[in-house]
Chain A
Amino acid sequence: MIAHLRALAVVAAVVALAPGCKRRGCLGGDDGSCLPPPPCAALGAPACALPPGALRIGVVGRDAWALPRSPGPKAVAATGDFVLENGRVRAVVDAPDHPQAVAPSGGTILDLAPLGAGAGDQIGSVFQGAGLLPRDVAKYESAEILDRAPEHVALVLRGHLEGDRRVTVVTRYELRPCEAGLRVRSEVYNGARDVNTLALTDGFFWGDRGLLPFVPGRGQGFRHPELDLLELGKAWRDWPFLAARAQAAPFVAYAQVRCDARRGEGFNDPTLSASGVGRVPTLPGDAIAFERFLVVAPGAGLSPAVDEALAARAALFDEPPPARVRGRLLAGEGGAPFPGGAAAGAILFYEPAPGADPDAEAGRTPWSEAIPGPDGRFELSLPPRRRLRALPHAFGRPAGPARELVTGASGTTTDVGDLVALRPARLVVTVEERPGAPADFAEIVLVPADPGPGPGPSLYGLFPGCEPLLGAPHGGSPACNRALAVGAPVELLVPPGRFFVYATRGPFATLGRAEVALAAGDDRALVLRATRLPVVPPGVLGADFHVHGAASFDSSLPEIDRVVSFLAAGVDVVAATDHDVVTDYAEAVAALGVGDRLVVLPGVETTPNILYFDVPGEAFPKTLGHFNFWPLRRDPALPRGGAPWDELREPGVTMDEMEARWLFPGHGVRQMNHAWSEAKLGRDQGFLRAIGFDPRKPLAPGASFAADLLLRRPGGGRRNLDWDAQEVMTGTSRREWMRSRGLWFALLSQGQLRAGTANSDTHSLANEPAGYGRTLVFAEQRTSTLDVVAFDDAVKAGRIVGTNGPFLDARVVAPDGGARGPSLAAFAPAAGAEIVVTVTAVPWVPVSEVRFVVNGEVRRTEPVPLADGGDPAGADRSVTVRAPLAALVGGVRGDAWLVVEAGLPLPAAADLDDDGIAETLDTNGDGSVDRRDVPADDEDDEERRFPAPARPGPDDARFHYDVVAPGAWPYAFTNPFVLDLDGGGWKGPGAP
């Protein structure tokens, strides 16, 4: 009996200890030598004939590896990073000492691209984390190459969670021959004392305008629960796989399939997805493993990746392999093939919703999306023996009847025949400079002549606001309701309807316009004329110092389209300021042969994403950033193209770090961007807003937390306040501009003289059009011979005017005829001096007044008759206004600064929350701004408290302008005239 009990006890002990005793990789913590086992073993070994050497792993810059950069704007492999290739895909994992974006170290998937013509990289980065705070992101410290070719190659990264070294993280990336992606296994060991929620996930930073995340799930697909970081649980879902597809070339799709469980968990948003293991308490001494297969597949739409994901799941979980479905999409019953890719033509496949409406978005379960080829044909994989519906989409809307289908058995192919989408019209637009002479670069914009009620088009519910939707909202031309023309007619597929068609070449050119009514199948040609006008005098260059292309994590716009958009808008100089990576658009400029007319200054926008900076009174930490720097040395072999990692540091430190990176040593411009912008998911907040700057409080030591922060030198060099230029106008947002204007004025009054710039912050063709606003630089320069240092010196000296349309020439003229324009250099005006202001605008840019602002106060407003709308094809018009300087500064004690503005009147705005910044307009139209203007259901809804101006009717003078630059409010401003009135040296009139 005793013997039996003993035996039983031994067996029980063995069983009980078995989970821990089994030697499994690094689940016992990282001891420096453990190796996670090969992940996703159930996928098996794909049979393929691979040439010798095709499966390989190496370090960029060493041995035979030069810079194996995949095509595509997101590809950023740098020297020291790791490359894995298998003849089908290439993956780049950055070196541990190459931190980027939210990852505090390398070890993240930086590039993942199919090999082959036309394919490329679209992934920003894939990083590992176990929570939502910066402390929970994996920080890798070492890497180990495992070259087991021809069986597999692997890279093992070792590290820990950023905030706790006791919680170790070891990740194995493994590539097998011919597979369509990476096998990955991460192991997290909780060596801390406390139980914790370690939600081990891959983080995919899509960036809003990039890849579109998709998960099969009822009511989901491309639709996701609203992501509120404070209530994450409400957005948390599970799914069989996560997929994503590109909006622009190179067209590739991605998928993540969990290998160690049938469902992954996490959340999705166009900004960020996290997909991984479930949320369960992890005890001290316990561990988590997470295996997944990260797929990349070439081709448009989602189906290339979903095909691979379904096949992987069949191998992993003994699910029946998928069935194939093929068919053709026609433009109208019996019509021609609907060319895929154009007009956002696609077919969404889903299980029907229960109830009366099988197509109800909230109830259907999407599985994949096919984009037909040029012949209208499509073929894709779907779950077998499943009743599904196929719904054609075009122009951002369902475009035909849904077809019910039943998929066949595994491995079989079902031909569903022809699906029918609406028959589009074909519109060919030619833009002329003058009769018979095509315009070199132009932009075409369509708007409905009689917009209908109801929701407008969108990409499966995402990115509304494009009507008509001619292409993916953030893709290449045509995108949203715009298209680029490069010296040749542009062919567009357009939904039937009545439209105004515009051709624009920037605010200093006439506007081509026509109204067309298009029926299904119509084939029409239009010739529109847009002629450049001599609004801006020679020697003055229009510059946009804040722009983004697809190299930014939140843009998809191909580089070539990016450059064409500047040329079409008549921008002369651009600072390429992609997020966290130095770019210069050199390839596109060279390809277009426009180096003599468009100067691109390589630069960067530092865009921290890690919430780390504690501000008193704020519940959550902040990011401090959104500063632009140019011109910088670009070195593609360096991480981030040579930009420093900009996380976890104050602006002064970043400014110091840039000193060694200027293209011309000692010469560079530091610009603070959109100082009061809102936070999105905790980030992107303007610097002054993030630190709680109150423009009413003095910038003196001890005066406020913000003042102390601005005045300190965190890196020992520059103060946090030591930027050269401040973005006063950012894009077309009137709200942003009015707030930034107030902040700029406040700093000027405190004696902090900074150049005020106007920029577009453009991210796509339609999302903030290029050149609205722009900075006119009075540097007596030409693009073909630009002296960059002198040009930038003029910017820093404030010899600039910001505008989104009107041209403004303002000079203080002494009785002896001596004149000087705006600049940050103080001067004592001569007695009897007057200010002479000339406003010039094309007829479609309405201007009704000139304002003289002294020390932040509008001292005088002069009406000007340039707001009648007139003929958009007409010539520019000018008005000159004169005012005695003495009258403008009368009553001022001490010194003054004077800014001249021109445009439409400013709407009345009030600061109801007592933070020194106006945040409310007269939204109820009762003639006063008060609490009744605050939305009762959501006081923090800035869009409703300070709404963008609505588009007026077609007969209004502002209609044309709003079509070209939606939401913009015509406005130009000079930089200050710094007036030393008391002759004792200039002192800020509000300086302590």
Chain B
Amino acid sequence: MRAARTAVVAWAWASALTAAPALAQAAAPCEAAALPGPLPIGPEVADFGEIGAVCPTDAIDARLRGAAAIDTPDFYGNVAGGLTLRGVRRLGGRWSASAAVDAPTFRFVANAVVESTGWSAGPATLGVARTFGGGAGRTAGLVGAQALLPLETARRSSARAGLALVAGGRHALRPWLALQGGLALPATWTISGGRGRAGLVPGLVAEAALAPAAAFAFSVGAALRGEAARAPALLALAPRAAVALRTRGGFVYALAAELALAGAARTDLVAAFTVGWRRF
């Protein structure tokens, strides 16, 4: 199974890099890009720790997301789906603020033949970010912080809050080709029964974004996540791909997916379909 996945991903990489179109567009990294940064495709938790657009602008979007973990040898599986609402507002200068909330989320979890389903809402995140570079230059960057608000109805006996530091960048190699990615350091604090536990799950994303046309872009790359704990663990090495279409009026339709190839996390596939509006 893993070997097959590897082959598919290798093929996708090769296809993407060899199909470089000759269309010329603006070389500036933030110039009306349909994919101005790694597309958030986290399965839940309101984009917490996601890098997102390196060139923030006023935006709102709704993202249908889904994730599946199927661990047949261990008789385990879960499927989660939901809707994330997100808004970004430029505050002036290079600052922007964002808010996101998961509402609602549906989960189906099979512990062998014991299955459960549940609807929930939350959590939510608030974020602030500052961009660097961009403009006429070829490189743009972003640093930001996000707060995870402990508003999650799926938790019965616990609450979770968090703070994430993110840094992202985008470098235009060609008018139609950019490298983008970033690092996220999401730290969480989960309190259950009066006992708190900290968690840190650093994540790294790198991808190549190709824009064959001004209104169309796709990206391929990979995400690497780990768990910084007493016994550190690689959670996932997951190739990812995204495709986005921009229309007149600033509407964006994007599809993204991530497929785990290795790591301790059981989630195999994460996919998201985003509909949004962005001020270009």
For residue A13, which residue of chain B has the nearest CB? B150
Output the least CB separation between A890 and chain B (Å): 55
Query: Judging by beta carbons under 8 Å apart, are B150 and A16 in contact?
Result: yes
Q: For residues 180 through 206 of chain A, which have their beta carbon under 8 Å from a beta carbon of chain B?
A: 187, 189, 193-199
A727 contacts partner chain B, Cβ-Cβ < 8 Å: no
Q: How far is the CA of A199 from the CA of B112 in the complex (A)?
A: 12
Q: For residues 1 through 40 of chain A, which have their beta carbon under 8 Å from a beta carbon of chain B?
A: 13, 16-29, 31, 34
Q: If A133-B75, A136-B111, A197-B110 touch, does A285 touch B190 (CB 8 Å cutoff)?
A: yes
B161 contacts partner chain A, Cβ-Cβ < 8 Å: yes
Query: Judging by beta carbons under 8 Å apart, are A288 and B193 in contact?
Result: no
Query: Judging by beta carbons under 8 Å apart, are B111 and A131 in contact?
Result: yes
The contact of A25 among B150, B161, B193, B199, by CB within 8 Å, is B193
Q: How far is the CA of A19 from the CA of B194 in the complex (A)?
A: 9
B155 contacts partner chain A, Cβ-Cβ < 8 Å: yes
Q: For residues 150 through 188 of chain B, which have their beta carbon under 8 Å from a beta carbon of chain A?
A: 150-152, 154-161
Query: Judging by beta carbons under 8 Å apart, are A195 and B107 in contact?
Result: yes
Complex interface: chain A residues within 8 A of B156 (CB): 19, 280, 282, 286-288
Complex interface: chain B residues within 8 A of A193 (CB): 227, 235, 264-266
Q: How far is the CA of A193 from the CA of B266 in the complex (A)?
A: 9
Query: Judging by beta carbons under 8 Å apart, are B194 and A24 in contact?
Result: yes
Output the least CB separation between B80 and chain A (Å): 8
For residue A23, which residue of chain B has the nearest CB? B194
- Of listed A17, A195, A232, A287, residue having the most chain B CB within 10 A: A195
Contact pattern, A 191-235, Cβ under 8 Å of B = 1, otherwise 0: 001111111000000000000000000000000000001111100
Complex interface: chain A residues within 8 A of B75 (CB): 133
Complex interface: chain B residues within 8 A of A196 (CB): 76, 78, 109, 111
- Of listed B115, B151, B264, residue having the most chain A CB within 10 A: B115
Complex interface: chain B residues within 8 A of A13 (CB): 150, 161
Contact pattern, B 103-120, Cβ under 8 Å of A = 1, otherwise 0: 000010111111111100
Query: Judging by beta carbons under 8 Å apart, are B149 and A286 in contact?
Result: no
A534 contacts partner chain B, Cβ-Cβ < 8 Å: no
A406 contacts partner chain B, Cβ-Cβ < 8 Å: no
Query: Judging by beta carbons under 8 Å apart, are A19 and B109 in contact?
Result: no
For residue A278, which residue of chain B has the nearest CB? B116
Query: Judging by beta carbons under 8 Å apart, are B109 and A197 in contact?
Result: yes
Number of A-B contacts (CB under 8 A): 157
A712 contacts partner chain B, Cβ-Cβ < 8 Å: no
Q: How far is the CA of A285 from the CA of B159 in the complex (A)?
A: 8
Q: For residues 75 through 118 of chain B, which have their beta carbon under 8 Å from a beta carbon of chain A?
A: 75-76, 78, 80, 107, 109-118
Q: If A132-B114, A281-B78 touch, does A194 touch B266 (CB 8 Å cutoff)?
A: yes
A279 contacts partner chain B, Cβ-Cβ < 8 Å: yes
Complex interface: chain B residues within 8 A of A278 (CB): 116
Complex interface: chain A residues within 8 A of B150 (CB): 13, 16-17, 20
Query: Judging by beta carbons under 8 Å apart, are B155 and A283 in contact?
Result: yes
B262 contacts partner chain A, Cβ-Cβ < 8 Å: no
Query: Judging by beta carbons under 8 Å apart, are B111 and A189 in contact?
Result: no
B2 contacts partner chain A, Cβ-Cβ < 8 Å: no
Q: How far is the CA of A281 from the CA of B197 in the complex (A)?
A: 20
B247 contacts partner chain A, Cβ-Cβ < 8 Å: no
For residue A25, which residue of chain B has the nearest CB? B193
Output the least CB separation between A640 and chain B (Å): 28
The contact of A286 among B69, B80, B192, by CB within 8 Å, is B192
B191 contacts partner chain A, Cβ-Cβ < 8 Å: yes
Output the least CB separation between A422 and chain B (Å): 44
Query: Judging by beta carbons under 8 Å apart, are A22 and B154 in contact?
Result: no
Complex interface: chain B residues within 8 A of A23 (CB): 193-195
Complex interface: chain B residues within 8 A of A198 (CB): 111
Output the least CB separation between B158 and chain A (Å): 4
Output the least CB separation between B195 and chain A (Å): 3
Query: Judging by beta carbons under 8 Å apart, are A285 and B264 in contact?
Result: no
The contact of B194 among A28, A132, A136, A283, by CB within 8 Å, is A28
Output the least CB separation between A933 and chain B (Å): 32
Q: How far is the CA of A961 from the CA of B154 in the complex (A)?
A: 64
Complex interface: chain B residues within 8 A of A27 (CB): 157-158, 192-195
Query: Judging by beta carbons under 8 Å apart, are A21 and B191 in contact?
Result: yes
Query: Judging by beta carbons under 8 Å apart, are B158 and A287 in contact?
Result: yes
Query: Judging by beta carbons under 8 Å apart, are A20 and B265 in contact?
Result: no
Q: How far is the CA of A600 from the CA of B167 in the complex (A)?
A: 78
- Of listed B111, B150, B154, residue having the most chain A CB within 10 A: B111
The contact of A20 among B154, B190, B199, by CB within 8 Å, is B190
Q: How far is the CA of A242 from the CA of B152 in the complex (A)?
A: 33
For residue B150, which residue of chain A has the nearest CB? A16
Complex interface: chain B residues within 8 A of A195 (CB): 78, 80, 107, 109
Query: Judging by beta carbons under 8 Å apart, are B192 and A189 in contact?
Result: yes
Query: Judging by beta carbons under 8 Å apart, are B266 and A287 in contact?
Result: no
Query: Judging by beta carbons under 8 Å apart, are A20 and B78 in contact?
Result: no
Complex interface: chain B residues within 8 A of A19 (CB): 155-159
Q: How far is the CA of A327 from the CA of B115 in the complex (A)?
A: 45
Q: How far is the CA of A287 from the CA of B111 in the complex (A)?
A: 16
Output the least CB separation between B228 and chain A (Å): 13
Q: How far is the CA of A284 from the CA of B227 in the complex (A)?
A: 14
The contact of B113 among A20, A132, A189, by CB within 8 Å, is A132
Q: How far is the CA of A46 from the CA of B264 in the complex (A)?
A: 51
Q: How far is the CA of A18 from the CA of B150 in the complex (A)?
A: 10
Query: Judging by beta carbons under 8 Å apart, are B111 and A229 in contact?
Result: no
Q: How far is the CA of A941 from the CA of B69 in the complex (A)?
A: 35
Query: Judging by beta carbons under 8 Å apart, are A197 and B151 in contact?
Result: no
Q: For residues 189 through 211 of chain B, which have their beta carbon under 8 Å from a beta carbon of chain A?
A: 190-197, 199
Query: Judging by beta carbons under 8 Å apart, are A20 and B157 in contact?
Result: yes
For residue A189, which residue of chain B has the nearest CB? B192
Q: For residues 246 through 280 of chain B, which have their beta carbon under 8 Å from a beta carbon of chain A?
A: 264-266
Q: For residues 381 through 436 of chain A, which have their beta carbon under 8 Å from a beta carbon of chain B?
A: none
Q: How far is the CA of A847 from the CA of B43 in the complex (A)?
A: 72
Q: If A28-B194, A285-B190, A287-B192 touch, does A20 touch B158 (CB 8 Å cutoff)?
A: yes
Q: How far is the CA of A207 from the CA of B117 in the complex (A)?
A: 31
Q: If A131-B114, A132-B112, A197-B109 touch, does A20 touch B264 (CB 8 Å cutoff)?
A: no
Q: How far is the CA of A357 from the CA of B190 in the complex (A)?
A: 56
Q: How far is the CA of A285 from the CA of B162 in the complex (A)?
A: 13
Complex interface: chain A residues within 8 A of B114 (CB): 131-132, 136, 197, 199, 232, 279
Complex interface: chain A residues within 8 A of B116 (CB): 197, 199, 278-281
Q: How far is the CA of A194 from the CA of B80 in the complex (A)?
A: 12
Query: Judging by beta carbons under 8 Å apart, are B158 and A281 in contact?
Result: no
Query: Judging by beta carbons under 8 Å apart, are B113 and A231 in contact?
Result: yes
Query: Judging by beta carbons under 8 Å apart, are A24 and B154 in contact?
Result: no
Q: How far is the CA of A13 from the CA of B159 in the complex (A)?
A: 10
Q: How far is the CA of A285 from the CA of B152 in the complex (A)?
A: 12
- Of listed A132, A285, A287, residue having the most chain B CB within 10 A: A285
Q: How far is the CA of A70 from the CA of B117 in the complex (A)?
A: 43
A289 contacts partner chain B, Cβ-Cβ < 8 Å: yes
Q: How far is the CA of A531 from the CA of B114 in the complex (A)?
A: 57
Q: How far is the CA of A964 from the CA of B110 in the complex (A)?
A: 48
Contact pattern, A 261-295, Cβ under 8 Å of B = 1, otherwise 0: 00000000000000000111111111111000000
The contact of A24 among B157, B160, B190, by CB within 8 Å, is B157
Q: For residues 133 through 155 of chain B, which have their beta carbon under 8 Å from a beta carbon of chain A?
A: 149-152, 154-155
Query: Judging by beta carbons under 8 Å apart, are B191 and A17 in contact?
Result: yes
| Given A16-B149, A193-B266, 14 other A-B residues pairs in contact with their CB atoms under 8 A | A13-B150, A17-B161, A20-B190, A24-B157, A28-B192, A132-B113, A193-B227, A196-B109, A196-B111, A197-B111, A232-B114, A283-B154, A285-B158, A287-B193
In the A-B complex, the 10 residue pairs with the closest CB atoms? A28-B195, A27-B193, A23-B194, A20-B191, A28-B193, A20-B159, A285-B190, A279-B116, A197-B116, A197-B111
Chain A contact residues, CB within 8 Å of chain B? 13, 16-29, 31, 34, 130-133, 136, 187, 189, 193-199, 229-233, 278-289
Chain B contact residues, CB within 8 Å of chain A? 69, 75-76, 78, 80, 107, 109-118, 149-152, 154-161, 190-197, 199, 227, 235, 264-266
| 16 contacts across the A-B interface (CB closer than 8 A) | A16-B159, A19-B157, A20-B150, A20-B159, A23-B195, A24-B193, A187-B193, A193-B235, A193-B264, A194-B76, A194-B266, A196-B109, A199-B116, A283-B155, A285-B197, A287-B158
